[in-house]
Amino acid sequence: MDSGYTKFVMSEEEFRLLRDFIYENSGIYFSDNKKDLLETRLSLRLKANKLKDYKEYYYMLRYGQQQSREIKALYDSVSTNETSFFRSPPQIQALQEYALPDVVNNRLGRGEKVLRMWSAGCSTGEEPYTMAIVIKEVLKEKFPEWDVKILASDISERALSSARRAEYNSYSLRSMPDELKHKYFENSGNTYRIKDEIKKLVELQYLNFADSKRVGLMRGFDIVFCRNVLIYFDDVLRKRFVSQLYDSLIPRGYLFIGHSESLHNITRAFKLVHFPGALAYKKE
Amino acid sequence: MKDKVLERLKEIEDLPTLPEVVSRIIVLAQAADVSIRELSGIIHEDPPLAAKVLKVANAPYYRCFLKDIDSLDRAIILLGMEEIVNIVMSISVISVFIDNSRGIRFKRKQFWNHCVATGIIARSFVRELRAKTAGKEFVGGLLHDIGKILLDAYFHEPFMDAYEYSLENRCPLFMAESRIFGITHMEIGYLLALKWGLPQYLGDIILNHHWPDRARFKDMVAIVSIANLLTKAGNYAYGGEKSSFILSDQNGWKVLGNMGYSLDRLDVERFTLSMDNVGEDVDSYISTASGDDEGR
């Protein structure tokens, strides 16, 4: 942290006001033990807006003239953007070796050559571009015959514009096989730019998971990745959102959640599938 | 080739044998009126064995009690004779093969890791089920693939062919064996279990771990079959079978469900994740059984 950084102290009352505001608008839930975290993340917003305490910030969000712009900045601050290419390699391997070939066969069985995927909570784009690379690797020379689209959504505009830029550093590519780096990136210095053939498969879109009407429009996916998103929600939203994820899949489609996440207490609608070192959920 | 295999097995005179103490323990355990002193006395005739039994009973993966058990007599009182005999069998059989230079030449470490992981996962699974199985699942998991050792030791070339075939065709090893030998590791393992006079439930696990619904000791066989599958999820598989599966569609899972086990309340996700650390337990058990950690 820079030396000019001051952390504003948040009262219990301010915490509750802001926590509830964030929850109502984004579904992201800060439990009572997360006050420190919220303090750290919002201190920067207070500083940027030259405010003296969180109550002022709260009023700004509720009634201020710059309300909608500040809400976007708030979402940028409270969402987490930790991600990388081929994050949790066993999951990506499961996608490549099992789930994707399975949904490809499923489509072929229906006489279709269409693949639809959704990276729900795509952050800065590493995940949807990974999915696109894996699809190309699996379909190989058959790829041109297929109509492939990956929808990538996030609540953070800042993350989305970074995804749109599609430039990454080598750290972000650390789990990726070298061969694929050469194949799908243009490299200059420490910057890796994703090639257009991959980039054009991904459609980036703002989406707030608390907006159940818009989430309800998501339909027809073969595979959905929604990793490390549910942990930010409370039980009510988690259940509603997971049932919407279920509806968004076509039969025999797969849902991947974070490596250490579980739907055990959320739903029994899916069948749990075991892969080497990874789990996924299948709609039947 | 099946007849040839059976004939050859009959001829082999140096088929591994169980240590005499262990055979006596197995016979003794089947008698009705055994005293703790008798059992303890007979195990103590083989001091390294007695030390290994205590070590396993106290190991975190076996986790019987929070407090250390410091003597064999106390272990017998706390765990019961049946469980102690099961621990003895698990250690002895593994020692026979690990010490036997004639033993497996094929991917040896990978094979033992698979067997031990199956035993340890079966044990934690039983704990989740809250079933009282007195360690049968542990020794059963360890020994379920014992037939593969015989195939490898005495029919090495065709066994390697079967192994390669299973990898290439992503089919279960027993299918490849059946194609190449006309007989499987389950059948050969079963013959060995009979020859050694192992308890019937062990023969049943060895013969039927791919089809729990055909078994006599259904729940025990089902538990080992599930543990065997779960080793694939934890990268402790052995052979070329496709490693993706839906647990709730498996034969063993259905068998347990039909027997009244409430599988729905099991948090399978959490259980699967907890297997991430099974590697350390596997190493620890193998060094105990093979005596590598003596004095430590």
- Stretches where chain A sits below pLDDT 50 are 1-3
DSSP structural state of residue B9: H
User: What values do phi and psi take at A26, rounded to 5?
Assistant: -130, -10
Contacts of B272 in chain A (CB under 8 A): 274, 279
CB contact under 8 A, A268 and B264: yes
Distance between CA atoms of residues B108 and B100, nearest Å: 12
What number of C-beta contacts closer than 8 Å exist between A and B? 52
Give one word for A24, left, alpha or beta, with left for phi > 0 and alpha for psi -120 to 50. alpha
How many residues comprise chain B? 296
Instruction: Say what the alpha-carbon torsion angle B74, B75, B81, B82 is, to the nearest 10 degrees.
Output: 160
**Residue B294: inside a domain:** no
Compute the nearest-CA separation of A267 from chain B (Å). Answer: 12
Confidence at residue B195, expressed as pLDDT on a 0 to 100 scale: 86
Identify the residue with better confidence: B34 or A13.
A13
Domain that holds residue B68: 2-289
What residues pair up with A117 in beta bridges, in sequence order?
A150, A223
Task: Give the pairing of strands A221-226 and A202-206.
Answer: unpaired
> What does the alpha-carbon distance between residue A270 and residue A267 come to, in Å, rounded to a whole number?
7
Q: How confident is the model at residue B103 (pLDDT cuts 50, 70, 90)?
A: very low
Q: Would residue B234 count as lying in a domain?
A: yes
pLDDT at residue B104, as a whole number:
47
Evaluate whether residue B295 is within a structural domain. no
Residues of B at the A interface, defined by Cβ within 8 angstroms = 229-230, 232-235, 237, 243-249, 264, 267-270, 272-273
3-class state of residue A127 by DSSP: helix
Q: How far apart are the C-alpha atoms of A111 and A102, rounded to whole Å?
A: 14
Query: How does DSSP assign B52-72, residue by residue?
Result: HHHHHHHSTTT---SSPP-SH
Q: What is the DSSP annotation of B217-261? A: SHHHHHHHHHHHHHHHHTT---SS----B-GGGSHHHHHHHHTT-
Integer Cα distance of A160 and A183 in angstroms: 24
Which of chain A's residues have a Cβ under 8 Å away from the Cβ of B247? 272, 274
Chain-chain contact of B237 with A275 (C-beta, under 8 angstroms): no
Amino acid B65: pLDDT: 66
For chain B, the distance separating the N- and C-terminal CA atoms, rounded to the nearest angstrom, is: 48
Asked if B248's CB is within 8 angstroms of A271's CB, the reply is yes
Give residues with Cβ within 8 angstroms of A164, minimum separation 6.
A125, A204
Quick one: DSSP state of residue A7?
Answer: P
Domain-embedded: residue B140: yes
Chain position carrying tokens 């103590």: B44
CA distance A140 to B177: 34
ipTM value for the complex: 0.83
- Residue B130 located in a structural domain: yes
**Is B229 a residue whose pLDDT tops 70?**
yes
Is residue B296, in this structure, part of any structural domain at all? no
Identify the top-confidence range among A46-50, A203-207, B236-240, B280-284.
A203-207
* pLDDT at residue A1 in the model: 43
How confident is the model over B43-85, as pLDDT tens digits? 998 888 898 998 888 888 887 666 788 888 988 888 888 889 8
Residue of B244, B267, B269 lying closest to A98 (CB–CB): B244
- Kindly identify which residue of chain A lies nearest to residue B233, measuring between CA atoms: A276
Please, which pLDDT band fits residue B105 given cuts at 50, 70 and 90? low
User: Given this model, what pLDDT does residue B100 score?
Assistant: 54
Q: Rounded mean pLDDT of B8-15? A: 72
Residue B274 lies in a domain: yes
Q: Which helix (H) or strand (E) is A280 found in, with range? A: strand A278-282
| Confidence band for B294, pLDDT divided at 50, 70 and 90 | low
Q: What are the backbone dihedrals phi and psi of residue A153, each rounded to the nearest 5 degrees, phi first?
A: -125, 150
Q: Does pTM top 0.90 for this prediction?
A: no
Instruction: Report the pLDDT value the prediction gives residue B99, as an integer from 0 to 100.
Output: 57
Summarised one tens digit per residue, pLDDT across range A118-170 is: 999 999 999 999 999 999 999 999 999 999 999 999 999 999 999 999 999 99
Beta partners for residue A114, in sequence order: A147
Three-state SS for A279?
A: strand
Closest CA to A23 of A212, A237, A243: A237
Domains of chain A: 12-78 (1.10.155.10), 89-282 (3.40.50.150)
- Min Cα separation A75/chain B (Å): 31
Using the 8-state DSSP alphabet, how is residue B210 labeled? T
Q: Please, what is the angle between helix A54-63 and helix A35-48, to 10°?
A: 70
Q: Which of A108, A71, A100, A10 is nearest to A210 (CA)?
A: A71
pLDDT at A60: 92
- The pLDDT score that the predictor gives to residue B107 is 67
Q: Alpha-carbon distance A193 to A166, whole Å?
A: 6
Q: What number of residues does chain A have?
A: 284
- Output the CA angle B246-B251-B253, nearest 5 degrees: 70
Say how far residue B189 (Cα) sits from the centre of its chain: 11
pLDDT of residue B110: 82
CB contact under 8 A, B248 and A262: no
> Looking at the predicted structure, is the pLDDT value of residue B118 above 90?
yes
Instruction: State the nearest Cα–Cα gap between A272 and chain B, in angstroms.
Output: 6
**CATH code, domain with B70:** 1.10.3210.10
Backbone angles phi, psi at A94, to 5 degrees: -65, -40
State how many domains chain B has: 1
For chain A, the maximum distance between any two Cα atoms, rounded to a whole number of angstroms, is 62
Helix (H) or strand (E) run with residue A194 in it: strand A191-194
d(CA B39, CA B90): 16
Q: Which residues contact B55 (CB under 8 A, 6 or more apart)?
A: B288, B293
The answer to whether B246 and B272 are in contact (CB under 8 A) is no
Instruction: Out of A153-167, B53-67, B172-186, B257-271, pick the least confident.
Output: B53-67
